[in-house]
Structure 1
Amino acid sequence: MPRRWGRRTWIPRGPAGSPPPRGRVPAGPPPGAYRRFRVDYPRRDRRGVLRWVPSWRQVLVLALTGLAAVVALVGYVYSTVEIADVNADARAEANVYYWADGTQMVSVGPVNRQNVPLSDIPPSLQNAVIATENATFYSDPGFSVRGLARAVVNMARGQDVQSGSTITQQYVKNTYLTPEQTLDRKLRELCLSVKLSRSLSKQDILQGYLNTSWFGRNAYGVQAAAVAYYGMDAKDLDPSRGALLAALLKGGELYDPSLSAAHHRRAVERWGYVLDRQVELGYLSAEQRAKYTVFPEPRPKSVSTSMSGQIGYLVDVADKYIKNRTGLTTEQLGRGGYRIRTTFDEREVERLRKTVEDVRQTSLDPARRIADRDVEIGAASIRPGDGAVLALYGGPDATEHFTNNADTAGVPVGSAFTPFVMAAALEHGAGPGAGAPEVLRRALVRGDSGLYGRLGEAVGLDRVRDLAVGSGLLPLSMAPLEPSFPTGTSTPSAIRMAGAYGTFAAGGRRTDPYSVTAVSHLGTPLEGLERPAARRALDERVAREVARALRDVAVDVMAPDAIRSLPPVAAGRTGAGDRVPASWFVGYTGRLSTAVTVFRSRPGTDGLLPMNGVGGSASDRADFLPLRVWSAYMTGTPAARAAG
């Protein structure tokens, strides 16, 4: 009869075809006695439901087999996963532009991130993050056993493979892995976390985590978050503000207090918890905690795009300057990671913008006058004798009007060019003391373009061109050397006109306009951005004569009140006899040299549109518009008063 050996069935056998032997059954099966191997499941010696309950031996074998498979799988993944497999997006940084005073102007790039060393992150913020995100950070092996178990349970339930990850695991997710939640990704996260803990210091991991985490408001990393929420660098955050940033790690979309009343309540509660948790773990004393009872309200979330308004024009000018001076290509600059300190004065930029928009509102009526449509204004202001570009107006909005009116090279300058003709004449014959300067000065005041046309021919058009270029205008903006050349057919930008007039202000010493003072990439300064050196462009006596004539122009064309409210002013402008479809006013004081241009342009049309009737003017110049912008900006008076 069949006998059982453990849980396996065997049948004793005699010779082939003979029945089983009678008598005592051996204690164990002889060699070759098995007829078949069969796992006893369902269990044959049990009845009912118990047949389906495995024995403890079966449970043990199954558990050991599963454990061996898991260990083998983990070992395989651990041996094959590479730390060097870094997600490039996690390393991407924006280019950050700063105002002249060092405050951040804008962060430009696909990822708003600026990596900073751990030394620039206050210890109070570090402690707040550790206290709330991973209290055992300095002692754990890079992963949480409890979190791993939770992930396995969730997987078994068919839910997302999530868990309360450690800081190391979160850094791995931010840096090395794609965002989907799968068992394979979770296993790779675990192995990478262990490897990372063995190869990097805790300080390096914490630094990486704080530089890659998302804080809401499109801010990645604590530096971008500090600017987005408080308009300051991370190193300047106090424990209260740092506690809110630590709270945002729970979910920027849930705890940004500016989004709604519910968000604000959650943010206040979470902020208080972060501070209390630090007291509980000994990072903050009760006395220190007692100082922070008022919620540190962040600044409102900006709804405009970062490049809107004048910012895009400023960035455009700065980028051009960097590429010209350093040799960087557009592609290289676009890779990000650059810190760019500009010369732009935030207050002056805003003042110039408001002045232009006020003049448009008080002087133009496009709803009633067709001529007032498609009117464009460009302006730039530099520091004479230095060349720093302090402000510019490129158009109403860089995200909608893409041409930078302050840096365009397509608007004829008209008789605002005649000071360079006068300077060339004085340099080459009609020098001071010869009597001719008085005649030239009167002609400049009257805007006698005909006289200056003849003068340019007499001096030599090439000499006029060379002097204009030597004073700061770009060679590519010079018109062909034809009889009309001295009357202003060239098309310099407002930036270059303001800089070239600054040469007269500086007694004939030229300093090229510059818009960037320093650039660093990943902490390394770039060469080639030293401030342009001043050099002699004109004889000092010639520059003085031209400046005297330009002061007479200013007195002649500006309102007496404006003259009295300014230090000595020198200015040039387009005149009534000009044949160019644009109006200019360029002038300087000891503090600023500012150029303003007004023209009409419409996308899809070639060249400039006529200026006839703009602003209700009977002339075809509308030259009062650039004068109003210039005088209102330079005097600080409202546009309505400047218009009078």
Structure 2
Amino acid sequence: MGRADERRARQRGGRRAAPKNRSSRAAAPASRNESVPAAEQTTAAATGGRAAARRSAKKGAKGAKAEKGRIRRLFTWKKMLGTFLGLVVLTIGAFIALYMTTPIPDTANADAELQSNVYKYSDGNLLTREGKLNRENVDLAEIPEPVQRTFVAAENKTFYNDAGVDLRGTARGMLNTLMGKGAQGGSTITQQYVKNYYLTQEQTVTRKLKELVISLKLDREKSKNYILAGYLNTSYYGRGAYGIQAAAQAYYRVDADKLTVPQGAYLAALLQAPSQYDWHAASDTGRRLVQQRWNYVLNNMVEEGWLDKAERNAMKFPVPKEPKAAPGMEGQVGYLVNAANNELKKQLVDQGVAETSKEADAMVDAGGWNITLNIDKKKQKALEASVKEQLTSKLDKKKRSVDGDVQAGAVSVNPKTGAVVAMYGGVNYVEHFTNNATRTDYQPASTFKPVILAAALDQGAETQDGEKITANTIYDGTSKRPVVGSDIGFAPENEDDLDYGDVTVQTAMNKSINSVFAQLGVDVGMDKVLKTAGDLGMDTEDLKAVPAQTLGTMGASPLQMAGVYATLDNHGKKVTPTLIKSAENSAHAVKAAEPIGEEVISREAADTVTSVLTGVVDDGTAKKSVRDNPLRKGQKVAGKTGTSDDNKSAWFTAYTPELVTSVGLFGESAKPPHPQVTLTGATTGLSGDDGRVNGGGFPAQIWAAYTFGVSTKVTKFDLETDQGAAVQPSRSASPSPSQSEEEESEAPSPEAPTPSKSPQTPTTPSNTPTTQEPSEEPSSEAPTPSNSPSTPSTPPEDPLDPQSGQ
């Protein structure tokens, strides 16, 4: 074989493996040591190795090819298409099942229903917000339409035309949730509202699927306006403001209906990042970003045809006002809020909006009420300042522990409208929860005496001698004189046990003589006295008609007493002090209580009492604080002081033709359980003789500083009567035998000896309340015939505990 033949043979061997028998034969001569050249033996060995390698590679290639074939047979395009279609059908079926089984919730989530109640002064200025969330829902009609569209332009331009969902955005959100990338935007306004109102803020696939389904259903069942209103009222805007109304106040100090388009665009821009975009808290980057978004909103409005381009170009960025802490419940605010809530709850029941008081409580506590009070901001501040100036600034509980037991309460009412224009509930609501202006656990004491006179005059009552009672009727003012004509014995002691002898009713009112009014009450009939008290506004339902009530031993509040005196000031037409001017929420508009009612006592009776009460101010227990006050300037005033048993309460309730104010001071221990204690010793050296705090002292001083400070003009009473100090000089009865002709009607002085106390009566009178008034000596009066009743023999005891009002 030539070389060329060998080369071709090798080439053929390289292309395919030689047959097995041929290889065997080729190898046989070598094994038999045949004569084969060495080069050929080497060539043959190399050729055999390559052949084996080729066989192995070919076998592997065939195996791989076979595997690929199996995969191709398993994943054919037909099978893949079938699988895809199966998944689509399965997904659609699952979605249909989810759609069918996921209803629109009947109720909102707990947070979405929480709102704050908003309280305003009578002029509309904000008093405070009270509630777990700073939210006040408003109707969409209250938001200017261009402002509404700023939010649509910012969040969802297709809102008015879409089906309520953004499928791509929702899918992207679910994918990012599965991948752990957190919350993602892209939801429609409808979806955001559903999340805020019905669902929660949790980032789960389940929540997102529910959001999708409910949004689709909601869009079919509700109008776009309904959804937009819900969205605006449930969104969070930063600064603790939930809803557009709270946001408008927080950022621009206006209500939502006063927002401008630039302001609305800023609030709409805020929703993307409330904290980052709050102008006064934002970094330079945050300010730049919010301005960019503000421009984006307005440009979208132009693009949608909702805003004129020239108008838009003229708009400037509306820098919001600095954050302002919301007014809390400190000071007088808490007292006003609680009193308003209580009045609102009562009106809800009275007007049939709520069936029970419990239901009314729940309605008010749920929030969402916009409540305007009758409180006049200037008068409120003036009353607070008067209490501080005349009383609390003088209290020092470090020097005198009793100073820490002094509580003040006051209410001021317009007698023509019944509006409560000012209220003082205590030194600070967060320190003393009980509202001293509305509490009814202290005795009104002698401020009840005008009620007795009103009953006598209105009923045409007569004395025991059968004479009609008038302001000039003479009574025996002897201390501890037992009453006549009662089955229940009663012999009250005058203050300091002073004897006044025969005095007129006018003088008895001026001097607040207990013995006279005890007999006067019996002459009228205590059942009739209590009826008149109830008609005038006091709570007398559970009171016993016994003579001891003539000393004002029942409980009453400054609010109640202001109403009683306002009715007298209003010529006998019932005045019910009303704190609420208006109250409404999204579902109800509650009518304010009718403050002016029918005539409960005759005008002549009411006007006569007013006339008599002017004598208390001009010639009685209030003259030092009121009559001689330099701020009075001729203003006509009618009023009455009162100081209860053991000096536990002190009052001055008085009025001008335009304003009625009742001021009460109450002794309440600063130590739990806060029992009633005496006021004696408070501000010793300032409060008068022996440290007693009486109605003619601090209460009258507070009244005068407030009333004369807020009065804009001097007014006179329009009285239809010929009785009393306002229309005629008071008639005087003869002094008691123990009195000197030179004695004056003021407090005892070295030049004027005090009257002697009356000798003890042979009879044994019942236990007697010691209701006190400021020390006043009997005046020297012109002698007139006395028709006072004689002293009876031993009277039966009074079953009423004289301490019952304490």
How many angstroms apart in 2 are the aligned matches of 1:264 and 1:428?
80
Is the CA contact (8 Å cut-off) linking 2:647 and 2:692 kept in structure 1?
no
Paired residue for 1:614? 682
Paired residue for 1:250? 272
Paired AA for residue 374 in structure 2: T
Shift of 1:513: 2.0
Written as runs of structure 1 = structure 2, the 5 A alignment for 1:368-447 is 368-426=399-457, 427-429=460-462, 430-432=468-470, 434-436=472-474, 439-447=504-512
Written as runs of structure 1 = structure 2, the 5 A alignment for 1:502-541 is 502-520=566-584, 522-526=586-590, 529-541=592-604
Shift of 1:71: 3.0
SS of structure 1 residue aligned to 2:672? coil
Which residue among 550, 555, 579 is the counterpart of 1:486?
550
Paired residue for 1:641? none
Is the CA contact (8 Å cut-off) linking 1:109 and 1:334 kept in structure 2?
no
Determine whether 1:549 maps to 2:600: no
How many angstroms apart in 2 are the aligned matches of 1:261 and 1:160?
24
For residues 11-33 of structure 1, the C-alpha deviation after alignment (integer angstroms, 9 at most, x for no partner) is xxxxxxxxxxxxxxxxxxxxxxx
SS of structure 2 residue aligned to 1:574? strand
SS of structure 1 residue aligned to 2:562? helix
How many angstroms apart in 1 are the aligned matches of 2:66 and 2:706?
100
How many angstroms apart in 2 are the aligned matches of 1:131 and 1:257?
21
How many angstroms apart in 2 are the aligned matches of 1:544 and 1:140?
72
Q: Scaled by the length of structure 2, what TM-score is found?
A: 0.66
Is the CA contact (8 Å cut-off) linking 1:474 and 1:492 kept in structure 2?
yes
Q: Scaled by the length of structure 1, what TM-score is found?
A: 0.81
Call closer, same or farther: CA 1:140–1:604 in 2, change over 3 Å.
Answer: same
How many angstroms apart in 2 are the aligned matches of 1:447 and 1:333?
43
How many angstroms apart in 1 are the aligned matches of 2:180 and 2:678?
71
Aligned residues: CA RMSD: 3.4
How many angstroms apart in 1 are the aligned matches of 2:67 and 2:387?
97
Is the CA contact (8 Å cut-off) linking 1:409 and 1:492 kept in structure 2?
yes
- Equivalent pairs counted in the alignment come to 590
Instruction: Please say which of residues 86-95 and 482-491 is displaced more in the overlay.
Output: 86-95
Determine whether 1:463 maps to 2:528: yes
Is the CA contact (8 Å cut-off) linking 2:408 and 2:436 kept in structure 1?
yes
SS of structure 2 residue aligned to 1:595? strand
How many angstroms apart in 2 are the aligned matches of 1:356 and 1:434?
37
Which residue among 664, 686, 689 is the counterpart of 1:597?
664
Which residue among 288, 295, 300 is the counterpart of 2:323?
300
Instruction: Please say which of residues 516-525 and 188-197 is displaced more in the overlay.
Output: 516-525
Is the CA contact (8 Å cut-off) linking 2:410 and 2:424 kept in structure 1?
yes
Determine whether 1:635 maps to 2:702: no
Is the CA contact (8 Å cut-off) linking 1:384 and 1:502 kept in structure 2?
yes
Shift of 1:162: 3.0
SS of structure 1 residue aligned to 2:307? coil
Call closer, same or farther: CA 1:414–1:338 in 2, change over 3 Å.
Answer: same
Which residue among 100, 124, 129 is the counterpart of 2:122?
100
Is the CA contact (8 Å cut-off) linking 2:472 and 2:506 kept in structure 1?
no
Determine whether 1:332 maps to 2:360: yes
Is the CA contact (8 Å cut-off) linking 1:567 and 1:590 kept in structure 2?
no
How many angstroms apart in 2 are the aligned matches of 1:562 and 1:115?
50
Call closer, same or farther: CA 1:57–1:288 in 2, change over 3 Å.
Answer: same
Paired residue for 1:235? 257
Which residue among 162, 169, 189 is the counterpart of 1:140?
162
Paired AA for residue 545 in structure 1: T
Written as runs of structure 1 = structure 2, the 5 A alignment for 1:265-344 is 270-271=293-294, 273-279=296-302, 281-293=304-316, 295-298=318-321, 300-305=323-328, 307-327=329-349, 328=354, 329-335=357-363, 336=366, 337-344=368-375
How many angstroms apart in 1 are the aligned matches of 2:326 and 2:347?
34
Paired residue for 2:94? 73
SS of structure 2 residue aligned to 1:186? helix
Give the % identical residues.
34
Instruction: Please say which of residues 155-164 and 90-99 is displaced more in the overlay.
Output: 90-99
Shift of 1:66: 4.5
* Structure with max Cα Rg: 2
How many angstroms apart in 1 are the aligned matches of 2:259 and 2:343?
33
Shift of 1:501: 0.8
Shift of 1:533: 4.1
How many angstroms apart in 2 are the aligned matches of 1:265 and 1:560?
66
Which residue among 99, 104, 107 is the counterpart of 1:83?
104
Paired residue for 2:561? 497
How many angstroms apart in 1 are the aligned matches of 2:699 and 2:635?
20
Is the CA contact (8 Å cut-off) linking 2:233 and 2:243 kept in structure 1?
yes
Determine whether 1:357 maps to 2:385: no
Written as runs of structure 1 = structure 2, the 5 A alignment for 1:87-166 is 87-89=108-110, 90-102=112-124, 105-160=127-182, 162-166=184-188
Shift of 1:506: 1.6
Paired AA for residue 692 in structure 2: D
Is the CA contact (8 Å cut-off) linking 2:449 and 2:552 kept in structure 1?
yes
Call closer, same or farther: CA 1:165–1:326 in 2, change over 3 Å.
Answer: closer
SS of structure 2 residue aligned to 1:158? coil
Paired AA for residue 350 in structure 1: K
Paired AA for residue 521 in structure 2: G
Shift of 1:493: 0.8
Call closer, same or farther: CA 1:518–1:187 in 2, change over 3 Å.
Answer: same
For residues 493-542 of structure 1, the C-alpha deviation after alignment (integer angstroms, 9 at most, x for no partner) is 11111111112212222222223354445344456x55144322333333
Paired AA for residue 629 in structure 1: I
Shift of 1:403: 1.1
Which residue among 158, 166, 190 is the counterpart of 1:168?
190
Shift of 1:407: 0.5
How many angstroms apart in 2 are the aligned matches of 1:595 and 1:434?
27
Written as runs of structure 1 = structure 2, the 5 A alignment for 1:46-57 is none
Determine whether 1:200 maps to 2:263: no
Call closer, same or farther: CA 1:238–1:58 in 2, change over 3 Å.
Answer: same
SS of structure 2 residue aligned to 1:534? strand
In structure 2, the gaps of 5 or more residues are 1-63, 463-467, 476-502, 712-806
Shift of 1:460: 3.4
